[in-house]
Structure 1
Amino acid sequence: MPHRKGLRRKIWTAFILQAAAISFAAVLGVYGASAVLKHVLIQQALQEEAAHYWQRMQANPGAEVPDTYNMTGYLLPAGADPKRVPETIRSLAPGFHALPRAQGGSLVLVDQDRHGHRLYLLFKQEQVDSLAFWFGMAPLAIVLVVIYVIAWTTYRASRRAVSPVIWLASQVQRWDPKQPEPALLSPENLPTDVEGETLVLAQSLHEFASRIENFVQRERDFTRDASHELRTPLTVIRVAGDMMAGDDSLSPMARKSLGRIQGAGRDMEALIEAFLILAREGDTGLPDVDFDVAEVVQEEVEKARLLVAAKPVEVSCRVEQGFHLQAPARVLSVMLSNLLRNACNYTDAGRVTVTVRHGEISVADTGVGMDETVLARVFEPFYRAANPGKEGQGIGLSIVQRLSHRYGWPVRLESRPGEGTTATLSFPHATTAAG
């Protein structure tokens, strides 16, 4: 589970970085202490030793130079032969010097009094290194071990502290958004270490999931009941309308009104079907089938011709290259019927042409068209441009866009005032129709 690994990895990374930072600071501190030991304390000791020797020499000109386990001294009186001093330090000027390892690696102080006598004091480098190790590296190693043990113990304690959160996240991740399982977070199913803020969060999620479960069930009941209850009266209206249409005694005015009733009935059937599809949040209840897009287009074009029967508008279909889709065919029918109904409603004369190309369907009309302001808002629910006398609820294109997002079929509109509108549906996963 990505979130589980991510949380624990972040905690582990935080402690690793913390231990590394502390280790770096400790090493830097010890290195600085070693430098201080070598370049300050030892230098100060050599200076004090030289000053002490000059005092002894004033009191006793024959005083011996220092010669201990750690330090060796040489005195070169003024005007004496320099060969009395080892060659490696003979040419050194007054001051502090560090000899290379090949020459012994000692720290050297060359001091000269007012009479021209020179004193050479050598402090053994291996002693410096030994002191640096025992007073620096050894304590550093102990400190680092203690730091790592504390960091590891703290990490384990932190893991135990966040384990309830990780468990809670893993339970929620397994939920089906359309059918959550609140029983997983019921009080009797919670681990004993879930307490405090995590317990409050678990209880809140349990209540929230229970409410979602109730909402989902109510939505399913509504869609089932609406599918049955709304289709039944519309079927009665459609059958009654068809029977009345067969009556030759109807006046032209009555027949025109009957046509409007039949058209409104067809619109309501299409809207109800679109709403039922959209109400199921990804589960349309319709099976995916492999179907020929051109056949669905031609069927919807035939239905659209009834919408312009009383207008000088030609509705035609041109199949340049057919293709197949693996999806619910009824969804495409709903989208096309809304696009065609919109095109026919806003075209008073001219033509509406549906063109099928591979992976694309376009619906072009010669209607009133739209300017950029209207085009920018045309997909908003219930938005209708100021076109007097045009019927509609302003939700057809909104339905088309929502279904296009649901199935990954992008829709785009191109339009110019007075020149018409072209709506294009694209299908990225189209397959070539079998020839």
Structure 2
Amino acid sequence: MEGRAPQDIRRRRGSFRARIAVVFVLQTIVMIVASVMAANNVAPIGAVIAIMLCSGGLAWIAVSREWIPVATLARLLEAWDPERPDMAGLDREGGKRADNDVSSLIRGLHGLASRIEGYGERERNFTRDASHELRSPLTVIKMSSDMLADESDLSDVGYRSLERIRRSTRELEALVEAFLILSRESDQGLAEEDFVVNTVLRQEVDYARELIAGRPVELVLDEPASFALHASPRVFAVLCGQLIRHALQQTDQGTIVVTVMPGSVSVINPALDAPEAGSRRHAAVDRHGFDLAIARRLSDRFEWPLELRSLPGANRIASVRFPHPQPVEA
């Protein structure tokens, strides 16, 4: 029995195509024989037509039977739910006697579905564990730094170090929040609500001002318009926060303006003209380019178009357009 197994595998390899070829050859032979019989008046025309119709019907039935495993697999994949993969259905199809090519396809789909299921499980574990394990030490650092700030005998050097710790903690909080959002395969779990973008932006601007303490940089929020969105305020805050931080990394001195226009938000920072300033700017891009990369991924993910403009000797503008703004009264 074991010695005949490899021969069976070789015999079944490409058997679907071989069986279809046999059906085609037999039908061709029947057609030729029937045509010769009709030409030599061996059989009446009606009998010849009946033979041809019967051969065609039998060929259709044979081909349809060979196609049943493929059709069944197609129906299974059409109703496939990535969130709840029907692995038992694939196992049932793989256990049936089918063409070797179809069996290979089922095994490949089974392996792919298993990998996708494992990826989804790792994603859920990561977002659940990282959300707790990363935020807990950040909370401890923030509370400890606030307690140190209340110490009256803290030296100037210690106070400056404390401020750097607080700024770095704030930056790390924003990065953790962005990574947790992007690590999700979909936006499920992110609560959507109606919120006013101006309110969220004021909070993000206040957070960003902590990062420029002691630097000759001014951050201004210009609000000639106001509008609301029905979306996740967390995602909106992280996206705008990344754009603001990117502008802070590109600016050594000057004024950064965050502007709210109808249906869009823009961040404008001055360009640096001096060669040495330009080299510092490019160094900042190399070190902190992930801020803009995260903003791009968030804009693509939630379909909020991000546009970047940079004019020689002028300002650098990053603007996000929101396709479905709502009036504040809504």
Compute the TM-score of the two structures, normalised by the length of structure 1. Answer: 0.59
1:246 matches 2:135: no
Q: Please, which runs of 5 or more residues in structure 1 have no aligned partner?
A: 1-134, 375-383
Per-residue CA deviations over 1:262-302 (Å, capped at 9, x if unaligned) read 11111111111111111111134211212111211121112
1:388-403 to 2 correspondences below 5 Å: 388=283, 392-403=287-298
Name the structure where helix makes up a greater proportion of residues. Answer: 2
| 1:344-383 matched pairs, under 5 angstroms | 344-368=248-272
CA RMSD of aligned residues (A): 3.2
Q: Is the 8 A contact 2:246 2:289 kept in 1?
A: no
Give runs of aligned pairs for residues 1-12 of structure 1, distance below 5 A: none
> Secondary structure of the residue that 2:320 maps to in structure 1?
strand
Q: Deviations over 1:198-224 (max 9, x none)?
A: 122212322331232123212211221
Structure number with greater CO (CA < 8 Å, separation at least 6) is 2
Partner of 1:409: 304
Q: State which of 255, 258, 272 in structure 1 corresponds to 2:162.
A: 258
Does the 8 Å CA contact 2:195/2:229 hold for their aligned counterparts? yes
Which amino acid is 1:180 matched to?
A: P
Cα distance 1:300–1:193, how it changes in 2: closer, same or farther (>3 A)? same
Asked if structure 1 preserves the Cα contact closer than 8 Å seen for 2:246 and 2:288, the reply is no
Bigger Cα Rg: 1
Per the alignment, residue 323 of structure 2 pairs with 428
Matched, 1:181 2:66: no
Deviation at 1:329, TM superposition (A): 0.8
Matched, 1:227 2:131: yes
Q: Look up the equivalent residue of 1:419 and give its one-letter code.
A: A
In structure 2, what is the Cα distance between the partners aligned to 1:251 and 1:259?
12
Change (3 A) 1:364 1:145: farther
Structure 1 residue 193: Cα displacement: 5.6
Report the Cα distance in structure 2 between the residues aligned to 1:149 and 1:325, rounded to whole angstroms.
67
Instruction: Deviation per CA, 1:321-345: give whole Å up to 9, x if none.
Output: 3222221110011011110111122
Secondary structure of residue in 1 paired with 2:323: coil
Shift of 1:406: 1.0
Aligned position for 2:230 = 326
The whole-number CA distance in structure 2 between the counterparts of 1:241 and 1:424 is 34
Q: Distance in 1 between matches of 2:51 and 2:247?
A: 78
User: TM-score, structure 2 length as denominator?
Assistant: 0.76
Q: Deviations over 1:306-329 (max 9, x none)?
A: 122212322122223322222111
In 2 relative to 1, CA 362–386 (structure 1 residues): closer, same or farther, beyond 3 Å? closer
Distance 1:210 1:162 in 2: 26
Instruction: Report the secondary structure of 2:256's partner residue.
Output: strand
Query: 2:233 matched to 1:338?
Result: no
Partner letter of residue 78 of structure 2?
Answer: Q
Q: Does 1:164 align with 2:69?
A: yes
Q: Distance in 1 between matches of 2:149 and 2:232?
A: 33
Aligned length: 288
